[in-house]
Structure 1
Amino acid sequence: MESTEAKQKSFNEIINEDTPVLVDFYADWCAPCKMMTPILQQLKSAMGDKLTIIKIDTEKNPDVAIRYQVRGIPNLILFKKGQLLWQQAGVVQMPQLQQIIEQKLEQS
């Protein structure tokens, strides 16, 4: 997983790429957010290059969080070529998360 701070590309460049992108909005103080890290690592292992996963710290990037109406964290948003396909707040377990993502990508 890559943080947006580590990349030189802008958020818009990342979400507009051909590879679908799952964005995890989080904050360091958020306990449920910490639960998402191993789940997202499992998801990355399962989906490999079919999905890019990035984490956005809402404290450091409030403008992005506001743009996508992120009110609760953790908050997951799935993008494909810049289009928002799915958004959900709260912890989502790995099998359910993978199923939702694959289903949304098939429909798009």
Structure 2
Amino acid sequence: MIALTPRTLLSVIAAAALTLAAGFAQALDIQPYSAERLSAAQKSGKPVAVHFHAEWCSTCKTQEKALNALKAEPGLDLTLLVADYDKEKDLKKQYKVRSQSVLIVFHGEQEKARLAGETDIDALRKALKAGL
């Protein structure tokens, strides 16, 4: 049996509490686009964003780096769906997207923000927060 001092016991409890809190921290969840994922999020009234991304697009790659940097940021509790700009023709038509590197943020079915070609992490953060 190990005897713990009150100070050691408090340290153990504090470490456990921080670990538990980190598990509950909500952050940006980046997933591949699917019509089912988008529909489910919109119907449930949850915040969701769609990033129209093309592999050949340098702006999209810069956006991708910035969005990945935001994944661990607490408070960005929404799903980001990455849609293939070259393949998702019906989706582009539905949301009137005419170029790659477009980010559309929704709260439920209501569009809250739209950015085109934006790579600044603060601007991307602000747009994502508009859906919360």
Q: TM-score, normalised by structure 1?
A: 0.79
Change (3 A) 1:99 1:65: same
Bigger radius of gyration: 2
Quick one: which amino acid aligns to residue 91 of structure 1?
E
- Structure 1 runs of 4+ aligned residues shifted over 2 Å read 8-19, 99-102
Kept after mapping to 1: 8 A contact 2:46/2:108 = yes
Between the aligned partners of 2:109 and 2:98, the Cα distance in structure 1 is 21
Change (3 A) 1:10 1:20: closer
Kept after mapping to 2: 8 A contact 1:16/1:80 = no
CA RMSD of aligned residues (A): 2.2
Identical aligned residues as a percent: 27
Q: Give the aligned partner of residue 2 of structure 1.
A: 31
Between the aligned partners of 1:77 and 1:27, the Cα distance in structure 2 is 15
Of 88, 101, 110, 1:83 maps to 110
Of 9, 14, 17, 2:41 maps to 14
Structure 1 spans left out of the alignment, 5+ residues: none
Q: TM-score, normalised by structure 2?
A: 0.67
Give SS of 1:97's match: helix
Count of residues paired in the alignment: 103
Quick one: which amino acid aligns to residue 86 of structure 1?
A
Structure 2 spans left out of the alignment, 5+ residues: 1-29
- Aligned pairs for 1:48-67 (under 5 A) are 50-67=77-94
